């Protein structure tokens, strides 16, 4: 009873529940080098696997001789397509309904494609053996430009499916075509465009890039032939899905497969899919009966495991002369590389690209996407963006700027005029989604005031005059973006992966002494789940967060879940956590009623226990209740205090934000300086404001990278030009600007704690903001659009093209 002597506020504070800046518990081990990553796991008798890869982007394999490699001492096996074919494993299914070569059979389709898998006593022997593999190739014509893919005389890429004119998403128009996907009202939209007073049309390229987590993709497979059980450690963002996929393709029963994702050093979407390395490690372990580890190097990561973006988006807006948007039309040419291995929920071949009407009340719209094959690596992952939302937001936020320029209107005024109003929520958008909640005007007003938007425009006007008079060689750009994200896939009615509905889960066990272990179907890769889920539980259960262990990533112990990507953990497993805790609280109330000898309806919740209504001194704390649940028979109740919840969200959550960037560009060198970057995010109820701030910093840094330089480029022969950190821009503290963060709070009406996801928002809002700043700086020349990435060299080229160097 001594709990009662401290105040309600003190007791609340002690819990470290929702809303508090609890320090990250995982950092205790991470900052001491005590994390446990896949490469830290060493099993007795463990061997190492490594790939021999294609030097060419498109070539016929005329011969492949692995005999010298096999003969090297220390080499245990060399697998080729010929070995996998009898097992029917030379191709594997992709999440997008295509198949992908595990090891190339007759042809290679992109540079660095996997051709043979060497298994040796250590990495170094494996590397030496790879040097001994002899292959002859006949080079074939290469397609790197997706606009050339469907030319009548284009080289045929996928011989394996050349006669299959229907793909997973309907008919194919050409042998290099993957799918055509359309949504919206085409005749209605065409009609609006035919009659609209003002229209705009531009093709925006959202270039190919890569998530490039610091830890590359890795796996360690260990087959116990006696038990017939496979243990697979790996860098998996979705361990349960990997277990199901391994079971389906290997034929091993699912209960005999143990998938364990230990600590992960960043995922960013790269670790959602299944890769050839996983399959080969598993096969090699089954064949050899020894554990086999596969660890990608940096070049392999950047050039072979899934890329992101590569969308060519022809975007049109129709409007009245005074800036009321009447309709939107968008066509996307999607470059999927050699295989369609896009990681999207099954029904959505272009992810949630149909959120492209953005934050605006656009009455009618039509979206069409064509996916095509090229001689590039496959993938198409949601690199810090919930399934193509960054592409969608880039399209609309660039188009808004172009329209404003054409109308001679301030682009913020154009946004304010067309925003979905607060009273319109829940808002049904023209392309199908129902936005749960938002207050866009409030967010934009707060952001404008914070940056002094009107003053910045006045300064820019004065500086432009000075530039024209030749007094300065610097031009100033003001980047604006306002985004609406769609995160938390997903309601089972909308989203599944390989037929498995995208729910998520939480299981809670309260031990007799009142400490807790809880497990979720999600998997942190650095987001801080061990810290934040415990905060949800602390508030819901009245047990201090420090008394709660959070565990994820072991499929034997965690309830089935679909994993962590698409900022879905908070909207799905976060909701399951609150719901499971509420089941426990309901049982705890019955126990407290028994202990206090009152009817349970006479009790009310009070921070960390139950009190008799009107008699606050009569109380039972959660610790006491936990003990009682194990120590005495309570009539009508099972012993123990445990619960599990599988949560199928009724809708996605729709976080939003207003971002501003002020940039100065030296036209003679192309060097830009980010003077200011302000980000206002609204993710509904905030669980841990410090973690959110960290998420925003990380997401903005990746947005800065992508917009201002990061790119996976190919030359005409299909050679990858961005496959190392020498060529691929990964900003360090030196280049990264200072971030100012801010927020508003508009809870999600359907989420049990009102929270929306936030992990990807800063990326989605950040990329268009940077690009808009560059484009805005040059807008006075009359140019409507300059493509990303805006590195110094390309900015200099733009200045040259626009005649600013004369
Ligand atoms: N939160 C809070 N509050 C709210 C929300 C949220 O607090 N309202 C927090 C939580 O709890 C966590 C975080 O925050 O912790 C996040 O969350 P979310 O949003 O839910 O998300 P998630 O699911 O968890 O996660 C995911 C994301 C993604 S997707 C990505 S890309 C990225 C991000 O996350 N990744 C990463 N972030 C990060 N971080 C780190 N560190 N790392 C990593 O990797 Mo994808 O799709 O995969 O592409």
Which pairing describes strands 325-335 and 364-372: parallel, antiparallel, or unpaired?
parallel
Torsion angle of the four alpha carbons 406, 411, 417, 422, in this order, in degrees rounded to the nearest 10: 150
The answer to whether residue 553 is domain-embedded is yes
Same domain, 14 and 43: no
The answer to whether residue 368 is domain-embedded is yes
Same domain, 414 and 475: yes
**Do 398 and 771 touch, CB atoms closer than 8 A?**
yes
Distances in Å between the Cα of 24 and the Cα atoms of 132, 521, 533, 685 are: 48, 20, 11, 19
Gap from CA of 745 to ligand 1 centroid (Å)? 18
Query: Does the Cβ of 760 fall within 6 Å of ligand 1?
Result: yes
Q: Which residue among 759, 761, 765, 767 has the greatest number of ligand 1 atoms within 8 angstroms of its CB, and so is best to mutate? A: 759
Q: What share of the chain has pLDDT > 90, as a percent?
A: 98
Query: Does the Cβ of 694 fall within 6 Å of ligand 1?
Result: no
Query: For 22-142, where are the E strands, in sequence order?
Result: 47-53, 59-65, 75-80, 91-93, 99-101, 107-108, 114-120, 134-139
Residues 391-419 as b or e (16 or more Cβ within 10 Å = b): bbbbbbbbbbbbbbbebebebbebbbebb
Same domain, 275 and 311: no
Query: Does the Cβ of 621 fall within 6 Å of ligand 1?
Result: no
Please report the pLDDT score of residue 1 as a whole number: 47
The answer to whether residue 528 is domain-embedded is yes
316-332 mean pLDDT:
98
The answer to whether residue 568 is domain-embedded is yes
CATH of the domain at 260: 3.90.1170.50
Please report the pLDDT score of residue 4 as a whole number: 52
Q: Is the ipTM of this complex over 0.95?
A: yes
The answer to whether residue 197 is domain-embedded is no
**Boundaries of domain holding 508:** 8-35+503-647
CATH of the domain at 321: 3.30.365.10
Distances in Å between the Cα of 749 and the Cα atoms of 192, 532, 752 are: 34, 21, 8
Token pair listed for 256: 């005999």
Gap from CA of 685 to ligand 1 centroid (Å)? 15
CA distance 773 to 787: 12
Average model confidence (pLDDT) across the chain: 97
Same domain, 428 and 547: no
Please report the pLDDT score of residue 431 as a whole number: 98
Same domain, 607 and 680: no
Same domain, 539 and 679: no
Residue with tokens 């120590």: 631
Angle ∠(586,588,592) on CA atoms, nearest 5? 120
Same domain, 736 and 613: no
Confidence bin at 129 (pLDDT 50/70/90): very high
Query: Does the Cβ of 594 fall within 6 Å of ligand 1?
Result: no
pLDDT over 70 at 527, yes or no: yes
Q: How many CB atoms lie within 10 A of CB 634?
A: 16
Burial of 422 (0-12, 13-18, 19+ CB in 10 A): middle
469 contacts: CB under 8 Å, gap ≥ 6 = none
355 contacts: CB under 8 Å, gap ≥ 6 = 389, 392, 393, 429, 431, 433, 484, 485, 486
Domain finish residue from 647, 665, 693: 647
Same domain, 545 and 591: yes
Query: Does the Cβ of 695 fall within 6 Å of ligand 1?
Result: yes
pLDDT over 80 at 186, yes or no: yes
180-200 mean pLDDT:
98
Residue 542: alpha-carbon gap to chain centroid: 32
Q: What share of the chain has pLDDT > 70, as a percent?
A: 99
* Total number of domains constituting the chain: 3
Q: Which residue among 695, 700, 702, 744 has the greatest number of ligand 1 atoms within 8 angstroms of its CB, and so is best to mutate? A: 695
Confidence bin at 633 (pLDDT 50/70/90): confident
Same domain, 368 and 319: yes
737-763 mean pLDDT:
98
388-399 mean pLDDT:
98
Confidence bin at 490 (pLDDT 50/70/90): confident
Query: Does the Cβ of 521 fall within 6 Å of ligand 1?
Result: no
344 contacts: CB under 8 Å, gap ≥ 6 = 95, 96, 350, 351, 380, 382, 387, 388
CA distance 415 to 441: 9
pLDDT tens digits along 456-465: 999 999 999 9
The answer to whether residue 188 is domain-embedded is no
Confidence bin at 806 (pLDDT 50/70/90): confident
pLDDT tens digits along 284-322: 999 999 999 999 999 999 999 999 999 999 999 999 999
Q: How many CB atoms lie within 10 A of CB 421?
A: 12
503 contacts: CB under 8 Å, gap ≥ 6 = 492, 561, 562, 572, 576, 646, 647, 648, 649
Query: Does the Cβ of 757 fall within 6 Å of ligand 1?
Result: yes
611-625 mean pLDDT:
96
Please report the pLDDT score of residue 390 as a whole number: 98
CA distance 87 to 82: 10
Closest CA to 401 of 207, 202, 673: 202
Same domain, 257 and 323: no
pLDDT tens digits along 415-430: 999 999 999 999 999 9
pLDDT over 80 at 749, yes or no: yes
Catalytic residues: 237, 384-385, 760
Which pairing describes strands 672-682 and 740-743: parallel, antiparallel, or unpaired?
parallel
The answer to whether residue 78 is domain-embedded is yes
pLDDT tens digits along 712-748: 999 999 999 999 999 999 999 999 999 999 999 999 9
pLDDT over 70 at 77, yes or no: yes
Residue 367: alpha-carbon gap to chain centroid: 22
Same domain, 19 and 50: no
Q: Which residue among 537, 567, 752, 767 has the greatest number of ligand 1 atoms within 8 angstroms of its CB, and so is best to mutate? A: 567
Domain finish residue from 647, 670, 698: 647
Domain finish residue from 605, 625, 647: 647
pLDDT over 60 at 3, yes or no: no
The answer to whether residue 788 is domain-embedded is yes
pLDDT over 70 at 346, yes or no: yes
Q: What is the 3 state secondary structure string of 459-471?
A: HHHHHHHHHHCCC
Give the atom of ligand 1 at the shortest distance from the alpha carbon of 211.
48
Question: What's phi and psi for 679, nearest 5 deg?
Answer: -130, 115
Same domain, 469 and 545: no
Q: Residue 805 in 3-state DSSP? A: coil
């Amino acid at each position: 009873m001594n709990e009662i002597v401290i105040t309600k506020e003190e007791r609340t504070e002690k819990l470290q529940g929702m809303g508090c800046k609890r320090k990250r518990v995982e950092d205790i081990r991470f900052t001491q080098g005590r994390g446990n990553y896949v490469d830290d796991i060493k099993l007795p008798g463990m061997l190492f696997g490594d790939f021999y890869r294609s030097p060419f982007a498109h070539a016929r394999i005329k011969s492949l001789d692995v005999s010298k490699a096999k003969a090297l001492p220390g080499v245990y096996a060399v697998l080729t397509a010929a070995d996998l074919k009898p097992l029917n494993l030379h191709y594997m299914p992709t999440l997008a309904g295509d198949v992908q070569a595990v090891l190339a059979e007759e042809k290679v389709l992109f540079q660095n494609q996997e051709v043979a898998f060497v298994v040796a006593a250590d990495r170094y022997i494996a590397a030496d053996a790879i040097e001994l593999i002899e292959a002859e190739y006949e080079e074939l014509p290469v397609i790197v430009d997706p606009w050339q893919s469907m030319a009548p005389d284009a080289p045929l890429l996928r011989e394996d499916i050349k006669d299959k004119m229907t793909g997973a998403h309907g008919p194919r128009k050409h042998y290099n075509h993957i799918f055509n996907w359309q949504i919206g009202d085409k005749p209605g939209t065409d009609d609006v465009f035919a009659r609209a007073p003002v229209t705009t049309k531009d093709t925006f390229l959202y270039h190919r890039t890569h998530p490039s987590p610091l830890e590359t993709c890795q796996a360690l497979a260990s087959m116990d032939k006696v038990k017939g059980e496979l243990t697979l450690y790996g860098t998996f963002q979705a361990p349960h899905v990997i277990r199901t996929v391994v079971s389906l393709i290997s034929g091993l029963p699912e209960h005999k497969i143990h998938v364990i994702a230990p600590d992960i050093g960043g995922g960013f979407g790269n670790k959602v899919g299944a890769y050839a390395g996983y399959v080969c490690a598993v096969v090699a372990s089954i064949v050899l009966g020894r554990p086999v580890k596969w660890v990608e190097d940096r070049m392999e990561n950047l050039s072979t495991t899934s890329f992101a973006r590569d969308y060519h988006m022809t975007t049109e807006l129709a409007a009245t002369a005074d800036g009321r948007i009447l309709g939107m039309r968008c066509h996307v040419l999607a470059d999927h590389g050699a295989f369609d291995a896009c990681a999207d929920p099954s029904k959505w071949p272009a992810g949630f690209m149909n959120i492209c009407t953005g934050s605006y009340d656009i009455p009618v719209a039509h979206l069409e996407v064509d996916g095509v094959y090229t001689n590039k690596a496959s993938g198409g992952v949601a690199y810090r963006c919930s399934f193509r939302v960054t592409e969608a937001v880039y399209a609309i936020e660039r188009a808004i700027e172009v329209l404003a320029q054409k109308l001679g209107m301030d682009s913020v005024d154009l946004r304010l005029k067309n925003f979905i109003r607060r009273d319109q929520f829940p808002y049904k958008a023209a392309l199908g989604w129902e936005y749960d909640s938002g207050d866009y005007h409030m967010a934009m007003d707060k952001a404008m005031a914070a940056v002094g938007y009107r003053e910045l425009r006045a300064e820019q006007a004065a500086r432009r005059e000075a530039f024209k008079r030749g007094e300065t060689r610097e031009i100033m750009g003001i980047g604006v973006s306002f985004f609406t994200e769609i995160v938390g896939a997903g309601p089972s009615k909308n989203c599944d992966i390989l037929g498995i509905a995208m729910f998520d889960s939480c299981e809670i066990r309260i031990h007799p002494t009142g400490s807790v272990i809880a497990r979720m179907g999600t998997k942190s890769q650095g987001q801080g789940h061990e810290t934040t889920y415990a905060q949800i539980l602390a508030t819901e259960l009245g047990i201090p967060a420090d008394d709660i262990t959070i565990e994820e990533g072991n499929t034997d112990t965690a309830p089935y879940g679909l994993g962590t990507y698409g900022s879905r953990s908070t909207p799905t497993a976060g909701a399951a956590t609150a719901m499971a805790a509420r089941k426990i609280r309901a049982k705890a109330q019955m126990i407290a009623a028994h202990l206090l000898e009152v009817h349970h309806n006479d009790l009310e919740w009070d921070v960390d226990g139950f009190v008799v209504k009107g008699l606050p001194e009569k109380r039972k704390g959660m610790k006491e209740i936990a003990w009682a649940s194990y120590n005495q028979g309570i009539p009508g109740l099972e012993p123990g205090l445990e619960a599990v919840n599988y949560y199928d969200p009724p809708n996605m959550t729709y976080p939003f934000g207003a971002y501003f960037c002020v940039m100065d560009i030296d036209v003679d060198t192309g060097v830009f300086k980010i003077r200011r970057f302000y980000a206002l995010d609204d993710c509904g109820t905030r669980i841990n404001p410090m973690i959110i701030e960290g998420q925003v910093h990380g997401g903005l840094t990746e947005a800065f990278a992508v917009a201002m330089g990061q790119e996976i480029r190919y030359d005409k022969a299909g050679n990858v030009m961005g496959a190392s950190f020498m060529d691929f821009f990964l900003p360090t503290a030196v280049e990264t600007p200072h971030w100012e963060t801010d927020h508003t709070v508009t809870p999600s009406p359907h989420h049990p704690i009102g929270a929306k996801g936030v992990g990807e928002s800063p990326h989605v809002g950040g990329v268009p903001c940077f690009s808009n700043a560059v484009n805005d700086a040059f807008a006075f020349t009359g140019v409507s659009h300059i493509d990303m990435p805006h590195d110094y060299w390309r900015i200099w080229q733009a200045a040259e093209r626009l005649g600013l160097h004369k």
